[in-house]
Amino acid sequence: MAFELPKLGYDYAALEPHIDARTMEIHYTKHHQAYVNNLNNAVTGNELQSKSLEELLSTVSKLPAAVRNNGGGHYNHTFFWRVISPGGSGKPTGSIADAIDRYFGSFEKFRETFTNAAMTRFGSGWAWLVQVNGELKVTSTANQDNPLMEGAGYTPILGIDVWEHAYYLKYKNLRADYVKAFFGVIDWAAVAGNYEAVKGGQ
């Protein structure tokens, strides 16, 4: 079955003023759609077309670069749209808030650590809050790589796209302003759901 562009749960303007409508439209309809199209082109007609996205990512070093780049791009963006929302911002509550306090000391310390990971990712890539061996950690990946690749045991809970296409129209070269704005659209209920899903599967 061909991979498809997932539906957004909100319209392009819903995340303003933090993320502008034009950036959302281009990011979703052009960049993400291109990853989907190119991934389908890379797997159609061979033994890879029956595999799930997660299966492809788990052995990605053995696969063509087009699968790594576009499979990662499709997964990462699908994940990204689901952890941001118009009703975002604020601070986490419940078990995810408790876990953040436990592993980072406070929400403010987590925010500082996550922001640093996003700011120090050289070139294009992503910063992530992940769960590994029952603990929360912050990490980052280059290009369209992600924590699921190669079965490293890292499960993403939250992620931010720091490719310039995610912010350049509004923030130009000021990545720090974009990362700060990102905290205004985080859907902490979705992040908590990701966290609970991992806990439930352990």
- Residues in the chain, overall count: 202
Query: d(Cα 92, Cα 5) in Å, to the nearest integer?
Result: 29
**Domain 94-200, CATH class in plain words:** alpha beta
What are the tokens at 71?
A: 């499979």
pLDDT tens-digit map of 46-94: 999 999 999 999 999 999 999 999 999 999 999 999 999 998 868 999 9
**pLDDT for residue 118:** 98
Burial-class residue 1 by CB neighbours within 10 Å (0-12, 13-18, 19+).
Answer: exposed
The torsion of the CA quartet 164, 188, 131, 155, rounded to 10 degrees, works out to: -60
Would the CATH topology of 20-82 be identical to that of 94-200? no
pLDDT tens-digit map of 97-143: 999 999 999 999 999 999 999 999 999 999 999 999 889 999 999 99
Consecutive H or E run containing 63: none
Confidence of residue 201 (pLDDT cuts 50, 70, 90): low
Query: d(Cα 135, Cα 104) in Å, to the nearest integer?
Result: 10
User: Can you spell out the DSSP letters for 152-197?
Assistant: -S-EEEEEEE-SGGGTHHHHTT-HHHHHHHHTTTB-HHHHHHHHHH
Q: How many percent of the chain have pLDDT more than 70?
A: 97
What are the residue ranges spanned by the domains of the chain? 20-82, 94-200
Q: What is the CATH number of domain 20-82?
A: 1.10.287.990
Confidence of residue 165 (pLDDT cuts 50, 70, 90): very high
